Amino acid sequence: MVEEAEKAAQADQNLSDIEKVVARKAPALGKLTVGISMLKTDDQVRATVSKILAAADEVFVEIDEVECPHCGGRGMTGVIQNLCAFCHGSCVVTQAEYDDYDRNAIDEVECPHCGGRGITGLNGVLCAYCKGSCVVTHDSHDAYDPKTIDEVDCPHCGGRGLTGLNSEILRVL
């Protein structure tokens, strides 16, 4: 981090708020790690690591980032991993954005065809309506007509996916 901060300073780049915090704190964090390989006892190592972690915690407190409430910090949603509609894939939002988060303000609702699972059937076939996204727009939800989807119940199992007294999964050869 120290090297990156020095390079950025030498290049006279415009830094983001996060980069400015890291650049300001990097020298102090770097100083704490000097000589760590020369420590002899476990207690010395633990004490030094504790100091480093405490100093790093101070840096992260200054960074205004929290896990995205919409995707849980994954940056992706759905079976096919679409970019999150709230954080747009960054995985984090500011505390103000987090506090203002309103699930209903996002133009997406549970897919009416698969019930928000993104898949249909026992074998996990991607939903023919949402294509694995698990959600659709409000307009798509309102326009949903199951008759327009090219799917019919299997004539062999009646759409259950199972056959026989033991309810075995239908295998198509």
Contact of 55 with 62, CB cutoff 8 Å: no
Question: Do 19 and 49 belong together in one domain?
Answer: yes
Residue 170 CA to residue 160 CA, distance in Å, equals 9
Range of the domain at 157: 107-173
Question: Do 76 and 111 belong together in one domain?
Answer: no
Question: Do 59 and 70 belong together in one domain?
Answer: no
Question: Do 35 and 7 belong together in one domain?
Answer: yes
Contact of 80 with 107, CB cutoff 8 Å: no
Residue 92 CA to residue 132 CA, distance in Å, equals 23
Strand pairing of 109-110 and 135-136? antiparallel
Tell me: the pLDDT tens digits for 28-54?
667 666 666 666 777 877 887 787 777
Compute the Cα dihedral for 98, 100, 101, 107 and give only its sign. Answer: negative
Confidence of residue 24 (pLDDT cuts 50, 70, 90): low
Question: Do 123 and 93 belong together in one domain?
Answer: no
Question: Do 25 and 44 belong together in one domain?
Answer: yes
Asked which of 55-69, 103-117, 159-173 is least confident by mean pLDDT, the reply is 159-173
Question: Do 78 and 52 belong together in one domain?
Answer: no
Tell me: the pLDDT tens digits for 81-99?
999 999 999 999 999 999 9
Q: Is the pLDDT of residue 100 over 90?
A: yes
Domain count, the chain: 3
Question: Do 49 and 31 belong together in one domain?
Answer: yes
Residue 137 CA to residue 6 CA, distance in Å, equals 47
Question: Do 53 and 68 belong together in one domain?
Answer: no
Contact of 86 with 104, CB cutoff 8 Å: no
